[in-house]
Chain A
Amino acid sequence: MEIRTAFHKRLREIQNDVLAMGSMVEKAINRSIEALKERDLDKAHKIITDDLKINKKRFTIEEKCVQLIATQQPMAGDLRAIICVLNIITEIERIGDHAEGIAKIVVMIGDEPPLKPLIDIPRMAEKAIDMLHRSLDALVNKDADAAKQIVTEDNEVDDLYDQVFRELLTFMAEDPKTITRATRLIWVAHNLERSADRVTNICERVVYMVTGKMEELGISKY
Chain B
Amino acid sequence: MTGLLELRHVEASYGPVQALRGISLSVPEGSVVAVLGANGAGKTTTLRAVSGTVRRSGEVRLDGKPLRGGPESAAKAGIAHVPEGRGTFTDLSVLENLRLGAYTRRDRSVKADVDTMTRYFPWLRERGDQRAGTLSGGEQQMLALARALMGRPRLLMLDEPSLGLAPLIVREIFRIVRELNEKEGLTVLVVEQDARIALNAAASAYVLEVGRVAVSGSSAELRDDEAVRRSYLGY
Do A and B interact?
no
